[in-house]
């Protein structure tokens, strides 16, 4: 089969129809929204580190909104069914709620920072730029990488956080992210094995770039030394105050372990 014919075959790939997962997402969402916003009415101590940490969490969740929306657009472009489209629009809505909860926490802890400092790569606006990138690429970047690493970090933060309001936000987010990860790998399992060898090679190279990007955004290990020191301090102090972070060194280990797990799972789908 020539290149063009191969590409045509990939475009026609039937995407999965995760209807059951979509229905579950919708039921869970209605029940939990009220519960979580009620929880936020507790009083929180003011903490410079924690308000800045939760501002970063807000930027990260906000960046997920356009990233997931790009998956929705790519699914429509590639002729996916309503089950897949619905699963991803519901995920986008969850990410809006996560951003909103993180913003409320940042405000309660002393004030949300609107300005993303130079050198930090949270980029909600640039992720919203029009794109003709295929669903396989967006699903890999957003689903396999971001969602999986995000879930691992939130699980670890939740396990170590006792403060009730912060714990409620982490618990709310955790339940959603676990479902997002399931949807993401389900889509990956359908899409990735059907790629052409050339596409697979390109996607493998891209996944190495993604891993580095994740180390600089979810973790701090890829940042410049000065920025890394200040971002580490912020996590360490938030962890010490019990307000939702783990120490920087613990978080970097969690990120690396999650990246190892992702590359193992991708290998199963033919990406190395
Ligand atoms: Fe999220
Ligand atoms: Fe998510």
Task: Provide the 10 A C-beta neighbour count for residue 56.
Answer: 22
Residue corresponding to tokens 């990007």? 213
Domain-embedded: residue 153: yes
Which ligand number lies closest to the CA of residue 25? 2
pLDDT in tens, 189-231: 888 888 899 999 899 999 999 999 999 999 999 899 999 999 9
- Residue 7: the pLDDT is 41
Domain-embedded: residue 238: yes
Domain-embedded: residue 11: no
- Whether the CB-CB separation of 141 and 209 falls below 8 Å is answered with no
- Closest by CA position to 191, among listed 14, 1, 9, 4: 14
Which ligand number lies closest to the CA of residue 58? 1
- Residue 23: the pLDDT is 61
To which H or E segment does residue 39 belong?
helix 19-39
* 180 Cα to the center of ligand 2, angstroms: 5
Which ligand number lies closest to the CA of residue 95? 1
* 5 Cα to the center of ligand 2, angstroms: 35
* 3 Cα to the center of ligand 1, angstroms: 37
Domain-embedded: residue 89: yes
Domain count, the chain: 1
- Residue 99: the pLDDT is 92
Domain-embedded: residue 194: yes
- Closest by CA position to 148, among listed 28, 255, 235, 23: 255
* 177 Cα to the center of ligand 1, angstroms: 6
Low-confidence stretches of the chain (pLDDT < 50) are 1-16, 34
pLDDT in tens, 3-20: 444 444 333 333 345 566
Domain-embedded: residue 8: no
* 196 Cα to the center of ligand 1, angstroms: 31
- Residue 193: the pLDDT is 85
Which ligand number lies closest to the CA of residue 97? 1
Range of the domain at 151: 17-268
* 211 Cα to the center of ligand 1, angstroms: 18
* 199 Cα to the center of ligand 1, angstroms: 28
Domain-embedded: residue 94: yes
Domain-embedded: residue 128: yes
Q: How far apart (Å, rounded) are the C-alpha atoms in residues 34 and 26?
A: 14
* 5 Cα to the center of ligand 1, angstroms: 38
CATH of residue 44's domain is 1.20.1260.10
Q: At what angle do helices 248-268 and 225-240 cross, to 10 degrees?
A: 110
* 218 Cα to the center of ligand 1, angstroms: 12
- Closest by CA position to 72, among listed 151, 187, 174: 187
DSSP states of 207-257 as a string?
HHHHHHHHHHHTSSTTS-HHHHHHHHHHHHHHHHTTSS---HHHHHHHHHH
Which ligand number lies closest to the CA of residue 180? 2
């Amino acid at each position: 089969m020539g290149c063009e014919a191969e590409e045509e075959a990939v475009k026609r790939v039937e995407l999965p129809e995760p209807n059951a997962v979509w229905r579950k997402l919708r039921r869970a969402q209605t029940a939990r929204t009220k519960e979580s916003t009620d929880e936020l009415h507790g009083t929180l101590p003011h903490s410079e580190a924690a308000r800045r940490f939760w501002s970063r969490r807000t930027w990260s969740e906000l960046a997920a909104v356009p990233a997931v929306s790009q998956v929705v657009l790519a699914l429509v472009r590639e002729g996916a069914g309503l089950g897949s489209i619905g699963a991803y629009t519901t995920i986008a809505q969850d990410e809006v709620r996560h951003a909103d909860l993180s913003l409320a926490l940042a405000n309660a802890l002393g004030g949300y920072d609107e300005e993303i400092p130079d050198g930090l790569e949270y980029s909600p606006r640039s992720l919203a730029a029009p794109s003709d990138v295929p669903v396989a690429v967006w699903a890999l970047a957003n689903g396999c990488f971001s969602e999986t690493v995000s879930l691992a970090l939130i699980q670890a933060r939740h396990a170590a956080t006792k403060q009730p309001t912060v714990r409620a936000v982490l618990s709310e987010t955790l339940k959603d992210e676990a479902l997002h990860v399931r949807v993401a790998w389900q889509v990956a399992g359908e899409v990735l094995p059907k790629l052409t060898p050339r596409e697979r090679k390109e996607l493998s190279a891209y996944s190495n770039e993604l891993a580095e990007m994740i180390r600089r955004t979810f973790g701090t290990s890829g940042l410049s030394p000065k920025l890394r020191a200040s971002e580490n301090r912020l996590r360490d102090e938030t962890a010490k105050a019990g307000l939702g972070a783990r120490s920087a060194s613990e978080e970097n280990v969690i990120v690396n372990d999650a990246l190892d797990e992702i590359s193992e799972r991708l290998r199963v789908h033919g990406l190395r």
